[in-house]
Amino acid sequence: MGAVWRKIADLLAITFIAVGVTLTFDTFLIYLTTLFLIFTIFALSYNIILGYLKLVSFGHSLFFAAGAYGVALFASWVIPDMLLSFLFGIVLAAVLALIVGYITLRHSQIYFAMLTLAFAMLFYALLVKWRDITGGSDGISGIPRVSTLFSFPTTETYYMFVLGCFIISFIILKLIDVSFIGLIFRALGDNESRFKFLGYNPVKYRILALVVSGTFSGLAGALYALLYRAVTPDVAYWTVAAEPLVMSLLGGSAYFMGPVIGAAVFVGLTTATARLAEIWQLVMGLIIAALLLGARGGILGVMERLWRKRF
Amino acid sequence: MAEEVLRTENLVKRFGGFAAVAGVSITFYEGERIGLIGPNGAGKTTFINLISGHLKPDSGKIFFKGVDVTKAPPYKKVMMGMNRTFQIPSIFKSLTVYQNVQLAAKKAGQPYSVDKLLTMLGLEKVADVKAANLSYGMMKIVELAMTMVSNPSLLLLDEPTAGLTSQEKKQIIQVLRTLPERCTIVMVEHDIDLVFDFAGRVVVMHRGEVLSDGKPEEIAVDTKVREVYLG
């Protein structure tokens, strides 16, 4: 019994804090926690590629934006129903991940990074230029948070929907982490040569990892669009993909909880320094430099080292 | 005559102007224990890399169990029953010994159970140790375990005992002797005594070509081989 509790302790802790936040009735705090939950899903999904496969992707802005624009386009052109457009956004991201994966994942390392960047920029250009459908640089606004069965008119009520999505996503991604498929992903990132010489097809498993990763990035994007009830092409700009990268490195990409810690620090820092105009970029730059020069394992890596020194 | 397992036809691999493997045609049969020897740069490792699909040949053909596998990717050859080890042991260093062997066993449909194999190879005590923390010799044994678990019909070993203590060498040979008789083993090795003890057939390579091929006692008295090795 104790073992089970320990296994889900991290989820319980986050849920406990997240529910506690609602009791403050502080709209800004609830809004910030919403952002944290969305970015945590994004960063956790990104870390499947970075942490397990040891690949850097600049294409995750594409999947995030596919989720966001999937919601907006479906709601404004097909049926203005929140649930259906939400699901459409996720499916769109999954399909695009499959296509991008099929084309890019035969290539390794730097070629993969550059190809995903190219696709991300292509998608961004498409959203800006295809004005009649996407609204160009103005984007799409007035996305409904109403479905036949439910509606989430306020930030506080929508927060519960995001929290629900977060818990489901967290459980699925955690199950992947501890299951045999997680082991397969880690093995592939560790030693591709031996992976092949055990009879595993590396391209197949990379595509599978990217589809899982892209699907949850799309889910995060869909939640993001519904939070603001609007999207602009900014969500598709390739630097968006750098955010989960920084979060994962910040928390420690070798750990399942790394992206979670990273997202919390990232959201906290950007909010704390946002009033000082562009200074958050300076802060972020300094942190990244410090991480890469002195603490490659991220926050959790440093904590583990300190812990070991004590005993 | 035993059944043919692997056949190459005029296999060539060039690195720039240098032909590392310069037209090798050879056939290996079921259950053979083959020692592949030759001076440094003779093309032994390149030859193994071509057969296993780690490198693509410039020309020539490779048949495995009668099927043309010249262009087949490594994982397909593995599924057909070919496996290999590397000079520098290639294992998953960030995973535990158990996880390493488990990954191999699952893919192979588990002809051996993971626990049984670990016990058989004396690895049960290090099952939960991260592979990166093992000694070099232990890494080689783990790699061998991972290739054995699929019950291969052809096992290619690239210097299985290089860099090992004599104790560890004995252990490796002991492990190899547990392999089923029908498994064909090709071993690249510099330890001549070991090769002559283990192999029933010795192939000598020199400058990318097969210089001599025969029983150990024939090779031992071959004047061409002596010339290559002695001067």
| Concatenated DSSP letters of A207-240 | HHHHHHHHHHHHHHHHHHHHHHTEE-GGGGSGGG
As a whole number, the mean pLDDT across chain B is: 89
Q: What is the pLDDT of residue B67?
A: 93
**Cβ pairs bridging A and B (under 8 Å):** 61
Q: What is the pLDDT of residue A164?
A: 93
- Dihedral over Cα of A30, A33, A39, A42: its sign: negative
Compute the nearest-CA separation of A205 from chain B (Å): 13
List pLDDT tens digits, range B1-22.
578 999 999 999 999 888 899 9
Alpha-carbon distance values, B78 to A53, B44, B54, B98, B149 (Å)? 22, 20, 12, 21, 12
Contact A64, A220 (CB under 8 A): yes
Q: Rounded mean pLDDT of B138-148?
A: 91
Compute the nearest-CA separation of A308 from chain B (Å): 16
Contact B203, B36 (CB under 8 A): yes
Contact A149, A91 (CB under 8 A): no
Look at residue A49 and tell me if it is in a domain. Answer: yes
Look at residue A305 and tell me if it is in a domain. Answer: no
Look at residue A86 and tell me if it is in a domain. Answer: yes
Q: Is A183 within 8 Å of B74 when comparing Cβ atoms?
A: no
Helix then strand then coil, in percent of chain B rounded to 5, is 35, 30, 35
- Set of chain B residues whose Cβ sits within 8 Å of the Cβ of A186: 92, 94-95
Q: Which residues pair with A222 in a beta bridge?
A: none
Q: Indicate the residue of A190, A198, A199 with minimum beta-carbon distance to B94.
A: A190
Residues B183 and B195: their CA atoms lie apart, in Å, by 17
- SS3 state of residue A186: helix
Compute the nearest-CA separation of B225 from chain A (Å): 33
Look at residue A93 and tell me if it is in a domain. Answer: yes
Measured from the Cβ of residue A279, the count of other Cβ atoms closer than 10 Å reads 11
Residue B223 pLDDT exceeds 50: yes
Residue B231 pLDDT exceeds 70: no
* Domain count of the fold of chain A: 1
Structural tokens at position B179: 């392999």
Q: Rounded mean pLDDT of B124-152?
A: 90
Look at residue A170 and tell me if it is in a domain. Answer: yes
Domain that holds residue A226: 2-240
Look at residue A284 and tell me if it is in a domain. Answer: no
Q: Write out the E strands in chain A.
A: 140-141, 230-231
Residues B112 and A130: their CA atoms lie apart, in Å, by 58
Residue A292 pLDDT exceeds 80: no
Contact A74, A94 (CB under 8 A): no
Residues A169 and A213: their CA atoms lie apart, in Å, by 11
- Set of chain A residues whose Cβ sits within 8 Å of the Cβ of B108: 198-199
Residue A249 pLDDT exceeds 70: yes
Look at residue A40 and tell me if it is in a domain. Answer: yes
Q: Is B107 within 8 Å of A194 when comparing Cβ atoms?
A: no
Q: Indicate the residue of A184, A187, A199 with minimum beta-carbon distance to B75.
A: A199
When mean pLDDT is compared across B68-77, B115-124, B203-212, the lowest value belongs to B115-124
Supply the ipTM of this predicted assembly.
0.89
Residues of chain A in Cβ contact (below 8 Å) with chain B: 180, 183-184, 186-187, 190-191, 193-194, 196-202
Q: Is B91 within 8 Å of A194 when comparing Cβ atoms?
A: yes
Say which residue, B154 or A273, is predicted with more confidence: B154
Q: What is the pLDDT of residue A13?
A: 85
Q: Is A191 within 8 Å of B90 when comparing Cβ atoms?
A: yes
At A62, give phi and psi (nearest 5°). -65, -45
Domains, chain B, in order of start with CATH, read: 1-72+186-231 (3.40.50.300)
Helices then strands, counting H and E runs in chain A, come out as 15, 2
Q: What is the pLDDT of residue A50?
A: 94
Q: What is the pLDDT of residue A290?
A: 83
Residue A284 pLDDT exceeds 80: no
Look at residue A229 and tell me if it is in a domain. Answer: yes
Q: Residue B230's pLDDT band (boundaries 50, 70, 90)?
A: low
